């Protein structure tokens, strides 16, 4: 049996309210707990304001030289400032639409999420909703296949 590389993850909370200190980052904490429970080492958690450019800038910083999973929470809805997918599209090299579709199918409210999933370098970026329940539900929908996706990205041996 070959040793598998560690599963590394980073969490990005996209929220004007959390940045301003008027809201608690319950979603970021919920994602970090979920990831740890599924064997990921959460090596960084950050918060950024809503908007495409702040999100893109944060994602560039989180993925430069990083091999692992970056999960964002927030900014995937219909409000004017909800521009996380737009910011994510500015940095990803390839989309993974099947993962985003699976995430949306977890609940009726999930269909309102505009979040995307894509690849930048050796990192997989997943957008999840800003609610603790929604982000956990959506990430849980794809957690079973993410280790395999990360191994494929890293060109590690896999079983098909």
**Separation between Cα atoms, residue 17 and residue 66, nearest integer Å:** 28
Q: Would you state the structure tokens that stand for residue 19, as one six-digit string?
A: 């940045």
Report DSSP letters for 122-141, one per residue: EEEEEEE-SSHHHHHHHHHT
Q: What is the CATH code of the structural domain delimited by 7-153?
A: 3.40.980.10
Residuewise pLDDT in 10s, the chain (160 residues)? 446 668 999 999 999 999 999 999 999 999 999 999 999 999 999 999 999 999 999 999 999 999 999 999 999 999 999 999 999 999 999 999 999 999 999 999 999 999 999 999 999 999 999 999 999 999 999 999 999 999 999 986 556 5
pLDDT the model gives residue 6: 86
**Separation between Cα atoms, residue 24 and residue 150, nearest integer Å:** 30
129-143 burial, b at 16+ Cβ within 10 Å, e below that, comes to bbbbebbbbbbebbb
Cβ-based neighbour number of residue 87 at 10 Å: 24
pLDDT the model gives residue 5: 67
The domains of the chain are located at 7-153
Could you tell me whether strands 122-128 and 67-73 are parallel, antiparallel, or unpaired per DSSP bridges? parallel
């Amino acid at each position: 049996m070959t040793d598998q590389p560690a599963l590394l993850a980073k969490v990005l909370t996209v929220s004007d309210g959390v940045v301003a200190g008027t809201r608690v980052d319950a979603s970021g904490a919920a994602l970090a707990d979920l990831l740890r429970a599924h064997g990921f080492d959460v090596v960084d958690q950050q918060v950024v304001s809503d908007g495409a450019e702040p999100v893109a800038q944060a994602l560039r910083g989180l993925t430069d030289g990083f091999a692992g999973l970056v999960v964002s929470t927030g900014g995937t809805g219909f409000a004017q400032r909800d521009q996380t997918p737009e910011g994510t599209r500015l940095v990803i090299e390839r989309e993974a639409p099947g993962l985003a579709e699976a995430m949306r199918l977890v609940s009726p409210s999930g269909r309102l999420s505009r979040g995307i999933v894509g690849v930048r370098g050796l990192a997989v970026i997943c957008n999840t909703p800003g609610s603790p329940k929604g982000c956990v539900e959506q990430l849980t929908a794809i957690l079973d296949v993410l280790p395999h996706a990360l191994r494929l990205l890293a060109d590690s041996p896999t079983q098909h």
